[in-house]
């Protein structure tokens, strides 16, 4: 059995999708909400294999939401259904942690296929999204292209190479002690570097720090 959740801000669409999934074999929907805070509350302590999240135009706040979901519920795979097909939005959404991306004109059968594929441990993108990603790859392979990577901000330039190295290791899941051992420095030095990073970037929490690192391609997801 595959346990799914649904987040759609429009009640009518939410009910339609919930009814559709309830008629699908081997899929049981356990969460259906229209409010972000309610979603995070209901996700606590529940098994959700695939979370279907619907956006129209994906904003920076929506990308932050995806990152927060990935951090708080790492065992849940996120499937985005959105109207936007802009290359930068698609790539940023994937970098934020989405395991699948469908456009709103996808068939219902493709939604089911995406759920099964993602539950099987693979990413899934609709045909139009696949073309976008393939074209981006080809452009990056083109020596005449600028090969510039779009980022949310450029404040990462304020960090030293050592601070970026520590941030990258931390993003890979290493503890302060493990980072200290890898870099042959003390744990206290690691903690001092992390505090200085937070101060330089004016960040308030480790979640904000993780978001910054993902946005600026310091760590990958």
Look up the CATH number of domain 2-141: 3.40.50.2300
Between 178 and 89, residue with greater pLDDT: 178
Confidence category of residue 88, pLDDT binned at 50, 70, 90: confident
Between 63 and 221, residue with greater pLDDT: 63
| Structure tokens belonging to residue 82 | 């959105």
Provide the pLDDT for residue 173: 75
Provide the pLDDT for residue 152: 42
> Burial of 138 by CB count in 10 Å (0-12 exposed, 13-18 middle, 19+ buried)?
exposed
Q: With contact defined as beta carbons under 8 Å apart, do 5 and 52 qualify?
A: yes
Pairing of strands 50-55, 27-33: unpaired
Q: With contact defined as beta carbons under 8 Å apart, do 79 and 114 qualify?
A: yes
Q: For the chain, give every domain's residue range.
A: 2-141, 155-215
Between 157 and 10, residue with greater pLDDT: 10
| Structure tokens belonging to residue 164 | 């970026």
Please report the DSSP string for 69-127 in residue order. HHHH-TTSEEEEEES---HHHHHHHHHHT-SEEEETT--HHHHHHHHHHHHTT--EE-H
Which residues on adjacent β-strands are paired with residue 199? none
Average pLDDT of the residues of the chain = 83
d(CA 166, CA 47): 33
Rg (the chain; Cα; Å): 19
Asked if the 155-215 domain carries CATH number 1.10.1240.10, the reply is: no
Provide the pLDDT for residue 171: 77
Q: With contact defined as beta carbons under 8 Å apart, do 55 and 13 qualify?
A: no
| Structure tokens belonging to residue 196 | 């200085």
Provide the pLDDT for residue 151: 41
What digits encode the pLDDT tens for the residues 112-133? Answer: 989 998 998 888 887 777 766 6
Provide the pLDDT for residue 140: 57
Provide the pLDDT for residue 207: 63
What digits encode the pLDDT tens for the residues 154-205? Answer: 455 678 888 888 988 887 778 888 999 999 999 889 888 888 888 888 877 6
């Amino acid at each position: 059995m595959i346990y799914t959740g649904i987040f759609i801000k429009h009640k009518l669409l939410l009910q339609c999708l919930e009814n559709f999934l309830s008629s699908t074999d081997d899929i049981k929907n356990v969460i259906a909400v229209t409010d972000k805070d309610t979603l995070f509350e209901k996700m606590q302590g529940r098994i959700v294999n695939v979370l279907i999240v619907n956006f129209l135009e994906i904003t920076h706040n929506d990308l932050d939401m995806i990152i927060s979901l990935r951090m708080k519920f790492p065992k849940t795979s996120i499937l985005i259904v959105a109207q936007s097909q802009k290359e930068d939005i698609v790539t940023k959404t994937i970098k934020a942690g989405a395991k699948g991306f469908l456009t709103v004109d996808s068939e219902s059968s493709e939604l089911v296929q995406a759920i099964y594929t993602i539950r099987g441990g693979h990413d899934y993108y609709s045909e139009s999204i696949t073309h976008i990603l393939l074209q981006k790859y080809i452009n990056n392979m083109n020596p005449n292209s600028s090969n510039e990577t779009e980022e949310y901000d450029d404040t990462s330039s304020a960090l030293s190479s050592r601070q970026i190295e520590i941030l990258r290791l931390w993003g890979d899941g290493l503890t302060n002690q493990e980072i200290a051992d890898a870099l042959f420095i003390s744990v206290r030095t690691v903690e001092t570097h992390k505090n200085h990073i937070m101060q330089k970037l004016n960040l308030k929490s480790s979640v904000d720090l993780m978001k910054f690192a993902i946005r600026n391609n310091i760590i990958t997801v």
